[in-house]
Amino acid sequence: MQKFARTFFLFTLFLLVFSTLISLGMDKLLAGKLISYRKHTWVITMKERSYDYGVLGSSRVYNMVNVPLMDSILHTNGINMATSGSSYGDNYCLLLKFLENGNKLKKLFLNIDEYCFDTQHHYSYPFADYEYMPFFFQKNMREVYSDYESPSKMALWTVVPFSRYAEFSDKYKLRNFFILRHFQSDYENSKGGEMLTDSTYKNFKASFSTLNVNDTDVKYLYKICALCKQKGIPVIFLTTPESPELYPLQKNRAELYNRIYQWTGQLGEHYYMFDKLADFSDRKYFRDYTHTNSVGSAFYSKLLAAKLREDKVL
């Protein structure tokens, strides 16, 4: 029995050491390398670039702010850094890695709306943990992981580091490191955005809902703004168009937007609410309740660019 226990202990120790060494190698190999076609990877692997502005948020920026169109009007160089279904915690990680790589932004346009403050309910996967695995043990990143992951998963990933990569083996394929080294992302041409060209309106079933505020989402709103302040980057808030058909179904919309106006006044230089730019009640602008189609995105982006020029923001 004693011999078995000793053998089991040594075998377990060997596995832990082996897992740690393999994990360290993976972290070093994958950090800052283009190993997928995903939007996160494109942003994280950028180095030493300078932009007049960046836009950050969820799909309500990614699919709705047409940066090339705005640049053609404003004669600027912008980037759409937004990713689908992403929380402020995810946005914070993406912006942090982007800035750590020596990239520069003169201004940041940050998405803010009712969906940003209850992302666990509104988004299916609000923190893309698998995108930041090479940085798991870095202090700032680990704090975010702790806020979004269960204690048991944090313990497993810490004690058996390679389990992080094993769990998401479909995301981290080593062969891609060699295949994609010279890949020119389509995001370069679109400046990071993806407009929705399907003009067929998708009338998803909506129900009455109470708009909640999650403390974690608020925490990372403040952390994004604090990071920008530290880097000397002014924050300008955007609420992109949504169908007014939703308003009667949102029980406490007015109360939540009172809080949003307080946050934007406290943390940002400007706040641009879409309904102050034009009437977006016509369905021809929308792909669904919360996303414009490419026609609506172009209409909105032109109006936003004109207003930014008028206010001398860009």
pLDDT at 199 (0 to 100)? 78
Write out pLDDT tens, residues 87-117. Answer: 999 999 999 999 999 999 999 999 999 999 9
Mean per-residue pLDDT of the chain: 88
> 2-310 is classed in which CATH architecture?
3-Layer(aba) Sandwich (3.40)
Q: Report pLDDT digits (tens) over 271-306.
A: 999 999 999 999 999 999 999 999 999 999 999 999
Contact 46, 97 (CB under 8 A): no
Residue 133 has pLDDT above 50, yes or no: yes
- Position 201 scores a pLDDT of 85
State yes or no: pLDDT of 182 exceeds 50. Answer: no
Q: Is the pLDDT of residue 8 over 60?
A: no
pLDDT of residue 188: 86
Cα-to-chain-centroid distance, residue 109: 13
pLDDT at residue 130, as a whole number: 92
Residue-wise pLDDT for 151-178, tens only, equals: 999 999 998 888 888 888 888 766 666 5
Task: Domain ranges for the chain, please list them.
Answer: 2-310
Q: What is the pLDDT of residues 186-243, one digit of tens each?
A: 888 899 999 999 878 887 766 668 899 999 999 999 999 999 999 999 999 999 999 9
How would you classify the pairing of strands 270-273 and 235-239?
A: parallel
Query: Is the pTM higher than 0.85?
Result: yes
